[in-house]
Structure 1
Amino acid sequence: MKENNLIRNKSYQFALKIINIYKFLQEEKREFLLSKQLLRSGTSIGANIEEAIGGQSKKDFYAKLSIAYKESRETHYWIRLLRDSGYLNAETAKQLLEDCDELLRILGSIQLTIQKKL
């Protein structure tokens, strides 16, 4: 397992940011439903990448990365919803969306490369 794996590291750092936003939303904004959705999808990205890294085949690897991509899309949705409903300020949401977009680009690129090999 590579410790310098870009997508692994970025998804882990993103998950830490999501956990901090979740705590902020719970403690400061008293928001309990949307924040839980964000926590679930935002931390699931890295968990699925970890599973992909331990995949038993290229197909297994691809399937787990596909789930991580879908979770990234869902996370993008929750961040926008939290921003547009006033729970997240524009600057915080902008940074999270940029991070999420970066994960989506990297995951999409990896998926295209794997598709060509399958």
Structure 2
Amino acid sequence: MSKTEFVELLKKRTKQLALDVILLYDNIKKTDSTRVIGRQLIRSVTSVAANYRAACIARSQREFFSKMSIVVEEADETLFWLEMLKDAGFVSNEKIEPLMDEALQILKIVSKARKSAGNN
């Protein structure tokens, strides 16, 4: 897989994760707690996708590193909020674990990319 193909694939994956999380949230019972967690989760997961896209068009290595740092932080936060929904019992393991797995995979990928960029 070429670098360009990989970049495009990761753009699709981050966007799809955001869509899947939004759809998950739309289908859970709304309580004060789920609303607070849901807003935070949707904000963080959409930030992952948006900031990754921004990193892809960065004008400099410094800008790329900065945007990727945001992506890493937001991906980790996304994973945290997914864990909160799961641990509180608001969402079944069957529904949330695939999203948690994808969020973790994305976090690992973007963390490695940021580290590589920082070493250059």
Quick check: TM above 0.5? yes
User: Of residues 90, 94, 110 in structure 1, which corresponds to 2:93?
Assistant: 90
- Structure 2 CA distance, aligned partners of 1:44 and 1:24? 21
8 A contact 1:18–1:43 mirrored in 2: no
The gaps in structure 1 that reach 5 residues or longer are none
Aligned residue among 28, 35, 41 for 1:38: 41
Relative to the length of structure 2, the TM-score reads 0.87
Q: CA deviation at 1:3?
A: 6.5
Structure 2, unaligned stretches of length 5 or more?
none
Q: Structure 2: how far apart are the matches of 1:96 and 1:43?
A: 14
Instruction: Tell me the distance in 2 between the aligned counterparts of 1:93 and 1:101.
Output: 12
Letter in 2 for 1:14: L
RMSD: 1.4
Query: TM-score, structure 1 length as denominator?
Result: 0.88
| % identical aligned pairs | 29
Q: Which residue is 1:19 aligned to?
A: 22
How many aligned positions are there? 113
SS for the counterpart of 1:75 is helix
Tell me the distance in 2 between the aligned counterparts of 1:58 and 1:89. Answer: 41
Equivalent residue for 2:104, pick from 91, 101, 104:
101
The runs of at least 4 aligned residues of structure 1 exceeding 4 Å deviation read: none
- Opposite residue 69 of structure 1, the aligned amino acid is V
* 1:103 maps to amino acid: I
